[in-house]
């Protein structure tokens, strides 16, 4: 089995390492890769970098939430080919909070987050905006009902 682990805070440097591993595994053979996630979130721009790479690889990237896929990590989870969460896992969705980025960039990133989640969950952007207007912790059953994941393990 081809497994990669995303544990802890998401940073650009950490995502760069994950990207290198994914590209390497994909270059060896085009079989499924499992990305295990246990993260409170972090840099959403770095998360979108990983998402972009996941989308261009030939191998299917399955995502599995082990305990918490929070914030930026929830976007990565939602992008999996097959999306899993363990029974006692939680998924945190919300809009991007103030950061070191300019307010204009934060607003643009929030628009991208809403469009991305709407696409991945097949829900209208209005529903996504309402559900992301606060720190929305979903248990595995709720994440499944919300279409953030496909299976509970």
Map out the domains of the chain as residue ranges: 3-152
CB-based contact 78:117 (threshold 8 Å): yes
CB-based contact 121:93 (threshold 8 Å): no
pLDDT of residue 102: 77
Catalytic residue chosen out of the listed positions 39, 71, 74, 89: 71
Q: What span, in angstroms and rounded, lies between the C-alpha atoms of 150 and 13?
A: 29
CB-based contact 37:65 (threshold 8 Å): yes
pLDDT of residue 104: 86
3-state secondary structure of 16: helix
Instruction: Locate the DSSP E strands across the chain.
Output: 3-7, 33-39, 61-70, 83-85, 90-93, 136-139, 151-152
CB-based contact 67:86 (threshold 8 Å): yes
Q: Is the pLDDT of residue 100 over 90?
A: no
Catalytic residue chosen out of the listed positions 94, 99, 100, 145: 94
Active site residue 86: no
96 versus 152: the higher-pLDDT residue is: 152
Question: Domain 3-152 maps to which CATH number in 2.30.40.10, 3.90.226.10, 3.40.50.970, 3.10.180.10?
Answer: 3.90.226.10
Per the DSSP assignment, residues forming a β-bridge with 27 are none
Question: With bands split at pLDDT 50, 70 and 90, how would you rate the model's confidence at 9?
Answer: very high
pLDDT of residue 96: 84
Question: With bands split at pLDDT 50, 70 and 90, how would you rate the model's confidence at 1?
Answer: confident
pLDDT of residue 120: 98
Q: What percent of the chain has pLDDT over 90?
A: 91
Nearest Cα to 50, choosing from 75, 85, 86?
75
88 versus 97: the higher-pLDDT residue is: 88
Mean of the per-residue pLDDT values for the chain? Answer: 96
Locus of tokens 């409170």? 40
Question: With bands split at pLDDT 50, 70 and 90, how would you rate the model's confidence at 98?
Answer: low
H and E: helices and strands count for the chain: 6, 7
**How far, in whole angstroms, is CA 8 from its chain's centroid?**
13
Active site residue 102: no
Q: CB-based burial of residue 127 (10 Å sphere; 0-12 exposed, 13-18 middle, 19+ buried)?
A: middle
């Amino acid at each position: 089995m081809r497994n990669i682990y995303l544990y802890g805070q998401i940073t650009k440097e950490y995502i760069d390492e994950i990207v290198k591993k994914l590209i390497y595994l994909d270059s060896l053979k085009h079989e499924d890769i499992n990305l295990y996630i246990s993260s409170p979130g972090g840099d959403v721009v770095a998360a979108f970098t990983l998402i972009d790479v996941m989308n261009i690889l030939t191998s299917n990237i399955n995502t599995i939430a082990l305990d918490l896929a929070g914030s930026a990590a929830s976007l990565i989870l939602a992008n999996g080919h097959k999306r899993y969460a363990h029974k006692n896992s939680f998924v945190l969705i919300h809009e991007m909070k103030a950061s070191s980025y300019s307010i204009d960039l934060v607003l643009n990133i929030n628009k991208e987050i809403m469009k991305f989640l709407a696409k991945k969950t097949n829900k209208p952007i209005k529903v996504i905006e309402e559900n992301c207007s606060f720190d929305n912790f979903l248990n595995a059953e709720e994440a499944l009902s919300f279409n953030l994941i496909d299976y509970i393990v």
